[in-house]
A = this chain, B = another copy of it.
Amino acid sequence: MFEQLLANNAAYVEREAPAPLDVRPSLELAIVTCMDSRLDVFASLGLAHGQAHVLRNAGGIITDDTIRSLALSQRRLGTTSVMLIHHEDCGLQLVSEEGFSRELEEAAGERPPFAIGAFVDVEASVRTSLGRVRSSPFLLHRDAVRGYVYEIANGRLREVG
């Protein structure tokens, strides 16, 4: 499988070697979303190379690591807006906070040094993450932040008010 992906990459380089671009995203935008395999961020938003930072983790939730990345994005790489995208049928809806945390502790013999981020209601989870961006003392730009749900069944984004 790794070899197949490297062959795909060689074909990509041959076909459309990307032009050199600045490290700073031209839309001054950072997008935070889920690691889900069914979400092609560039294609589904019509993004071109060099336009936006793309941060992805389980759920697309705002964690300490997301704040670390956004702090670098805003303070060194010029982004000023944040777009949060969660989705339905998410892996974080398959586990409970306590149950999965306990499973990890039992497997590892130590308590995980992170919250799981499990959620039931996707819109409530977007609002929680919006609140974390808006209240983080480490970020420079906390106002131009908008939250969305990606409808995995049809690819459509809807805004969370």
B-contact 0/1 string along A68-104, CB 8 Å cutoff: 1101110111000101000001111011000010011
Contacts of A29 in B (CB 8 A): 1
Contacts of A52 in B (CB 8 A): 37
Q: Please, how many angstroms separate the alpha-carbon atoms of A47 and B26 in the complex? A: 25
Assess whether A18 is in contact with B155, with CB atoms less than 8 Å apart. yes
Q: Please, how many angstroms separate the alpha-carbon atoms of A53 and B103 in the complex? A: 22
Q: Please, how many angstroms separate the alpha-carbon atoms of A112 and B70 in the complex? A: 13
Assess whether A156 is in contact with B64, with CB atoms less than 8 Å apart. no
Assess whether B76 is in contact with A54, with CB atoms less than 8 Å apart. no
Given contacts A44-B12, A45-B5, A155-B9, contact A114 B65 (CB under 8 A): yes
Query: Is residue A67 within 8 Å, beta carbon to beta carbon, of the partner chain?
Result: yes
Chain A interface residue bracket vs B: 35 or more
Assess whether A37 is in contact with B58, with CB atoms less than 8 Å apart. no
Q: Please, how many angstroms separate the alpha-carbon atoms of A146 and B9 in the complex? A: 15
Contact of A112 among B27, B53, B138 (CB under 8 A): B138
Assess whether B76 is in contact with A95, with CB atoms less than 8 Å apart. yes
Contacts of A154 in B (CB 8 A): 13, 17-18
21 chain-A/chain-B pairs, Cβ below 8 angstroms: A2-B83, A2-B146, A5-B47, A9-B46, A12-B44, A17-B155, A23-B94, A25-B37, A35-B55, A37-B52, A37-B54, A40-B42, A55-B58, A58-B68, A65-B65, A65-B66, A71-B112, A72-B95, A73-B91, A107-B140, A109-B137
